[in-house]
Amino acid sequence: MRTSISLLAIVAPLAFAAGPCDITACTEVTSSEGVFCWMPIVLGWEGASTDPADVMGCVSSPEIMCNCYGCEPGLENLITSNNLCPAPTASA
């Protein structure tokens, strides 16, 4: 089951997410360990934290989450709707 959730976290965003995601640099966010940390918060599972900002504790630094939240649409929605990271800048 962990593998399928991790694969979903990696493959689904290719079509849906617009936030930052360099799949080669975002293993803390997309790994099974990372997914099982932030997914309960995103999905609002019973017993999970109800503070959206707690997803930042799922990685070693907030910068990593802010550079990788676009790797999963649900995570991206949680972060952008709660203004947890600065908006990504458009590159020229």
Residue 18: which pLDDT band, with cuts at 50, 70 and 90?
confident
Residue 68: which pLDDT band, with cuts at 50, 70 and 90?
very high
How far is the CA of 5 from the CAs of 32, 36, 69, 82, in angstroms?
7, 9, 16, 24
Mean pLDDT within 65-87: 93
**Chain segment 31-62, per-residue pLDDT in tens:** 999 999 999 999 999 999 999 999 999 999 99
Q: Reduced to 3 states, what is the DSSP secondary structure of residue 49? A: coil
Q: Is the pTM of this model over 0.75?
A: no
For 22, other C-beta atoms within 10 Å of its C-beta total 10
